[in-house]
Amino acid sequence: MRWLLALGLLFLAPALAQGGVRTSITVGEMEALLKAWGFRHEREDGKEGPYFVVYFGDLKATLLLLRCEGDRCLALLLGGSFTGFAPEKRPDHARINEWNREKLFSRAYLDEDGDPVVEADLDLEGGVTDGAIREFLETFRETLEAFADWIGF
């Protein structure tokens, strides 16, 4: 029985070392994490509530907190939209579909104006560490840069 407890603690230790497991997050907690990790960002107030614009070099993304119950939110969504294409340079559905077939951890589509968008989301409800949230942001940075290249932005 002791070995089972020891084994459980062995797997739990990395999660505890990263600040515990979150199953939800508030806007204030998310902003504190962005600041602590050095992500340049702005907090905005939208129709659906506060959100963040996060800057990744020359690119930016919108960070939404979704599925909120009171001030605690159960999911994060990062999205980047690319505008300003000349009509003949705008990526088509085939190019966007190719991204979706070949790439992991994101989805892409053309919005109602025909502009390309890439998004990724993170469900917190089952439990994630702060390290997993940071990795989500870092992975999206790489995704956003790769997508910009993919569409010729």
Number of domains in the chain: 1
| pLDDT tens, residue by residue, 120-141 | 999 999 999 999 999 999 999 9
| Residue 12 within a domain | no
| Residue 2 within a domain | no
CATH code of 112's domain: 3.30.1460.70
**What's residue 19's pLDDT?**
67
| Residue 7 within a domain | no
| Residue 41 within a domain | yes
Question: What is the reported pTM?
Answer: 0.86
| pLDDT tens, residue by residue, 38-93 | 999 999 999 988 999 999 999 999 999 999 999 999 999 999 999 999 889 999 99
| Residue 3 within a domain | no
- Residue 143's identity, in one-letter code, is T
Q: How far is CA 13 from CA 7, 18, 21, 38, 145, in A?
A: 10, 9, 11, 26, 34
**What's residue 14's pLDDT?**
45
DSSP helix/strand/coil, 21: strand
The β-bridge partners of 43 are 52
| Residue 140 within a domain | yes
Mean pLDDT of 5-13: 43
| Residue 64 within a domain | yes
Domain that holds residue 92: 20-150
